[in-house]
Amino acid sequence: MNVLMLSPGYPAEMPEFTRGLAEVGATVVGVGDQPLEALPERARRSLAAYVRVRSLFDEAAAVAEVRRELAGRRIDRVESLWEPLMLLAARLREALGVPGLDVAATVPFRDKEAMKLRLDAAGIRTPRHVAAASVAACWEAAERIGFPVILKPIAGAGSADTWRCDDADDLRAVLPRVAHVPVVSVEEFVDGEEYTFDTVTIAGSVAYYNVAWYRPRPLIARTHEWISPQVIALRDPDAAPLAGGVAMGHAVIRALGFETGFTHMEWYRKADGEVVFGEIGARPPGAHQVDQMNYACDFDVFREWARAVTAGRFDARIERRYNVATVFKRAQGEGTIRAIEGLEALYRRWGEAIAWNHLLPVGARRRNWKQTLVSDGFLLARHPDLATTLAIADEIGERVRLHAR
């Protein structure tokens, strides 16, 4: 099978998906806007060919360039696992006549208002929501929904440009901060725990799924620099408290007509047990959550996704062995990492459970924590017992500290 892979070198997980395609026997043609030599080595050695376009974000020009470069060559699949390129992938499928999500089917995965309208029609509980393209429309929506409300881009990803407004003063302060966003979704604030429902789906049927728990909710984590955000991939996604969210996830995939590939859904569980949809993307989660799945089950989800999209199979035996906690760290101070505190004690206490140390090393310059969840790196721990996993995660959050100056 000949697979067109958009942006095979970025974001960080894309070389692994590209590798997965090559390992299941696909002939992989990469499409990107950077020189071939700038791609990570793992991506380069997995490609049979590479088409460099001037820009991945000028969709009409990129489609024309790809068609010209591949004239006479058969393409069987077009794959993109990065949110900003979903519509480009859909346009390429239409232009090249290959199966998969077309533009009409992709829009509800990119436009949060269209997404929720489709799910409302299917009877799935979504937050009350209104699309607003002006300051006046935001005020009208907030008055109709009632405070607190959330403002977020209808085509955003993650928690970027997402704000909670508890009252009119908050809304007045936030509106200038989202003035650059053409259309925002004004939504009911749902007070509850936040989870994911991530799937590899084949012909509309879920072949594999994962449930992760955000501690705390991303909206809170991105507001306070001192927090060490945690993502916990749960060993038992079929536990009774999660059943409503899992059932809703299956219903969402049916309602949106998703066929084959990765999906990443976020949902809420309120104190009274009610489950509420958050949003869904036709892509995997970011911030190394696919790696979490590998550590939870000791298999290669990158390869199994590739097998799903090329052969319609998921061959790995699904044996959920561990809860997996990823704890993202933010250095104290500015500038260069000068010291890491608490790491030796952590290894003495939990050595075998610490599966991956991906912290920035001493001497590296710290990152802007507002621009990346990965922040200044992370530690990944796994353990069969959930309470123990949470204890390790909390110790990482409280006792491991990066100091910068």
In a shared domain, residues 71 and 165: no
**What is the 3-state secondary structure of the chain?**
CEEEEECCCCCCCHHHHHHHHHHCCCEEEEEECCCHHHCCHHHHCCCCEEEECCCCCCHHHHHHHHHHHCCCCCCCEEECCCHHHHHHHHHHHHHHCCCCCCHHHHHHHHCHHHHHHHHHHCCCCCCCEEEECCHHHHHHHHHHHCCCEEEEECCCCCCCCCEEECCHHHHHHHHHHHCCCCCEEEEECCCEEEEEEEEEEECCEEEEEECEEEECCHHHHCCCCCCCCEEEECCCCCCHHHHHHHHHHHHHHHHHCCCCEEEEEEEEEECCCCEEEEEEECCCCCCCHHHHHHHHHCCCHHHHHHHHHHHCCCCCCCCCCCEEEEEECCCECCCEEEEEECHHHHHHHHHHHEEEECCCCCCCECCCCCCCCCCCCEEEEEECCHHHHHHHHHHHHHHCEEEEC
Same domain, 253 and 114: yes
- Are 311 and 392 members of one domain? no
**CA pair distance 117, 98, nearest whole angstrom:** 28
Report yes or no on 76 lying in a domain: yes
| Domain boundary, last residue among 321, 342, 377 | 321
**197 and 164 within one domain:** no
Residues 270 and 197 in one domain: yes
pTM: 0.93
Domain boundaries, position 223: 110-120+191-321
CB 91 within 8 A of CB 67: no
Does residue 105 belong to any structural domain of this protein? no
| Residues linked to residue 328 through DSSP beta bridges, in sequence order | 378
The per-residue pLDDT string of the chain (405 residues; one tens digit each, 9 = 90 and over) reads 999 999 999 999 999 999 999 999 999 999 999 999 999 999 999 999 999 999 999 999 999 999 999 999 999 999 999 999 999 999 999 999 999 999 999 999 999 899 999 999 999 999 999 999 999 999 999 999 999 999 999 876 656 788 999 999 999 999 999 999 999 999 999 999 999 999 999 999 999 999 999 999 998 998 899 999 999 999 999 999 999 999 999 999 999 999 999 999 999 999 999 999 999 999 999 999 999 999 999 999 999 999 999 999 999 999 999 999 999 999 999 999 999 999 999 999 999 999 999 999 999 999 999 888 899 999 999 999 999 999 999 999 999 999 999
Residue 233, domain member (yes or no): yes
Task: Confirm whether 310 is domain-assigned.
Answer: yes
Same domain, 32 and 180: no
Q: Are residues 24 and 95 in the same domain?
A: yes
CATH (domain of 296): 3.30.470.20
Q: How many domains does the chain have?
A: 4
Residues 316 and 326 in one domain: no
User: Do 227 and 260 fall within a single domain?
Assistant: yes
Do 216 and 313 lie in one domain? The reply is yes
Q: What is the pLDDT of residues 167-199, one digit of tens each?
A: 999 999 999 999 999 999 999 999 999 999 999
Residues 209 and 316 in one domain: yes
80 in any annotated domain: yes
CATH assignment at residue 60: 3.40.50.20
User: Which residue matches tokens 């990469």?
Assistant: 30
**Would residue 266 count as lying in a domain?**
yes
Same domain assignment for residues 84 and 27: yes
What pLDDT digit, counting tens, does each position of 287-346 carry?
999 999 999 999 999 999 999 999 999 999 999 999 999 999 999 999 999 999 999 999
